[in-house]
Structure 1
């Protein structure tokens, strides 16, 4: 069993520990708070619950008499006080198992429960030490690893001069990365980026894991290198204020929170057009494929090569087809799929390659309407950038996976990009339009597979609601004459049909 210690000099330090624990909490976690009367258990629990609720004034009464208090926070949390239990068996009557099925539990006086708490519970023992308190944390498994990482993030903030900052959850994504807003009096809020080293997974082809073939970023160094290169090139990406490359922590500029949708959740066409014009500017530049992470340390930007394109497209047959048909794809279907795709990808020869950010869509672009020109657009999530077809990012933007882009708004976005490229010099619209269709078909085939994988493998069913939109995008892309054979394959196998999944 692993252990950690933290000296808490005052109430504010105890509250910060509560915030640190809140940032790591997940449904099913149990935090056992042990200590004498007045040791600070309630102070710690109150700070944790308020951080989860993002409400510093939330009333958090002690559950001494009610025995349990429940809070509908980001992670639902149930605060138990077992002091008045006469036997450990009574914990079942409090609905402890149901509480864990719904969220997390904070348990004061856990010794009254004896051995009935889960073995993965994290014990936090508070004792007086001088004028302050000593917190001893012990546990095992994923929950304790998350707590240890969250405390390491606080240590990182201390080294950056932001040790007393307030931490609040900001956003997570489909990867293991997560982000927090950190606030410190006298400064603009910043973003704390938590980017653990990528776990590569098992080999899937030629002895290589998927991430290596698809050239997914393996560490935060990729973000640092690409971010700094883009910033120097006139793109509004976050300034990096502090970094810990080994642990994967960054303290970066907070570019804002306004997105590309109106109050009804509909895309604002003018913002998508402005983003297309930013892409046009970027695609008119020459970008290096080796970028500096730190003095003497370079990041090699990989090519979006045939293997990467195909391993991504294969997600459709690996995940979407089994969900659609109820059985794995046959060898003949997979071979036909590969033949059709390889014939299409052959057509990309001679098309423009440039730095492609890979996920250039509305969740990763901030609208800053008080600024002018390209500075109105703040760009985040750049670590997976590759050197590949310029049309890819345009397809990512104009066929936004999480926003319903009507054919009209898609066309307006494309027109804005094409007009900006023409204004900058010679531009072959026909070749671009062909590459756009190919990349849109490849990307949306990949996304169909990814969204099913997120449901089947990762337990995230809410991604399935996007499938009808992605199928519509795929139909649009495959309408291009250059993709006729690929379209015929998809139609023959029912890959774009609306079905109940």
Structure 2
């Protein structure tokens, strides 16, 4: 399968060369194609130095045609621009080198039929302000190796190349975190919906209204890296495990943060999904073989059910639950540290409350949940709104967890029974009878 890499500048080209260096073996042949100045020689130079040392002189082979470098194996760097006939390849000794050395060949079209089978073709093309490199066929492990090199370059630019590091456990997203002294490195690949620009923007908004979101001392949005303030390890589950008497006040503080958050105008330009959009997101739970009519009945009924919860839209943080909240040594609402809010959008007032009280990862006692709902909104009709939002959220999570398990992440299977219990309890509300009837048939 082909692989593509977006190279913002020469730093990325060199990073890709270093990543390739650790994955090549005797007989590896790289055919480097692209216009003059596209980065072929820059990538080759970085690759050679990564294998042999940064002090190695790597002249261009434009005039010598071939430069060889001793090692295990040898490295051959060829520039065939001045060749006039493929037979001249024999005189250079490249045919034998193709099977025993690592060979980097610029202007490989000059090889004609002498192109070795199994060679990797690297093609540079313009892409915005930078370049895109397409590799055919791809090399196993290269995307992650390249990403690791980009991260190293980002840390080096900020003087952290030698800082001690601790890799942190991931979640359902493609983001990765590494703990550094006082900081976290956020690695958020650009092909994902979780954008570093959104994290920075929402973090600033939260801090501006007096809440505890991390500071962001360094950012590279073009590649998807941030250095963010490390608010510490005292997540809600750990704090409660250490002192169970803290559970009620911690959750009350989290509810008060939501009320404070929703009392302020949201940033402009955030996504604002319709009830139909929310219903469609929950359709992940349906069997792929579900008929189009049954799917339409499901999403239509769920959209009508969500009308129970709708009203003036407010800023919601989307993943507002215990594992994204910290208990900090600060005062007032600032005691609650906030994480994982980059997908924030406009939504229903009760959405984050239900995310908190119907947590897929930990149990919240029914009496505590009832207390928190009343603390947030004591009106008698709010219970129906909570049931509607809880049903939508549980349906969507069940679909996501099932797919993650099928993709080789079975740890999510252990969370499904709790979410099923949330769903059953929400569907038991009389106002959700039509949705319950459909779920009984389709799920």
Q: Tell me which residue corresponds to 1:195.
A: 188
3-state SS in 2 of match to 1:234: coil
User: How many residues in Structure 1 have an aligned counterpart in Structure 2?
Assistant: 327
Aligned structure 1 segments of 4 or more residues deviating by more than 4 angstroms: 1-6, 29-33, 264-267
1:432 aligns with 2:388: no
Q: Tell me which residue corresponds to 2:247.
A: 268
Q: Tell me which residue corresponds to 1:315.
A: 284
Deviation for aligned residue 1:360: 0.5
The answer for unaligned runs of 5 or more in structure 1 is 7-16, 22-28, 34-39, 42-82, 84-110, 112-118, 120-138, 184-188, 200-215, 291-299, 323-327, 419-427, 496-501
1:168 aligns with 2:166: yes
1:251 to 227, 241, 245: 227
Show the 5 A alignment for 1:157-236: 157-183=155-181, 189-199=182-192, 216-217=193-194, 219-236=195-212
Pair 1:4–1:431, CA change in 2 (3 A): same
Q: Tell me which residue corresponds to 1:238.
A: 214
1:334 aligns with 2:295: yes
Deviation for aligned residue 1:197: 1.2
> Distance in 2 between the 1:257 and 1:333 partners?
46
Deviation for aligned residue 1:452: 0.2
> Distance in 1 between the 2:363 and 2:242 partners?
12
Q: Tell me which residue corresponds to 2:36.
A: none
Give the TM-score normalised by structure 1. Answer: 0.59
2:397 to 436, 443, 447: 447
Give the TM-score normalised by structure 2. Answer: 0.66
Deviation for aligned residue 1:30: 7.5
> Distance in 1 between the 2:400 and 2:159 partners?
40
Q: Tell me which residue corresponds to 1:361.
A: 321
Show the 5 A alignment for 1:96-135: none
Q: Tell me which residue corresponds to 1:283.
A: 262
> Distance in 1 between the 2:140 and 2:372 partners?
44
Greater Rg by CA: 2
Of 278-287 and 404-413, the range deviating more from structure 2: 404-413
Q: Tell me which residue corresponds to 1:146.
A: 144
Deviation for aligned residue 1:416: 3.3
Q: Tell me which residue corresponds to 1:94.
A: none
1:472 to 398, 412, 421: 421
> Distance in 2 between the 1:246 and 1:308 partners?
29
Deviation for aligned residue 1:161: 3.1
3-state SS in 1 of match to 2:227: strand
> Distance in 1 between the 2:218 and 2:303 partners?
44
3-state SS in 1 of match to 2:298: helix
Pair 1:142–1:277, CA change in 2 (3 A): farther
Structure 1 contact 274–416 (Cα < 8 Å) conserved:
no
1:404 to 363, 367, 371: 363
3-state SS in 2 of match to 1:251: strand
> Distance in 2 between the 1:433 and 1:277 partners?
18
Considering only aligned residues, what root-mean-square deviation do their CA atoms show, in Å?
3.4
3-state SS in 1 of match to 2:271: coil
> Distance in 2 between the 1:30 and 1:415 partners?
58
Deviation for aligned residue 1:174: 1.0
The answer for unaligned runs of 5 or more in structure 2 is 6-11, 27-49, 52-71, 73-99, 101-117, 119-136
Deviation for aligned residue 1:142: 5.2
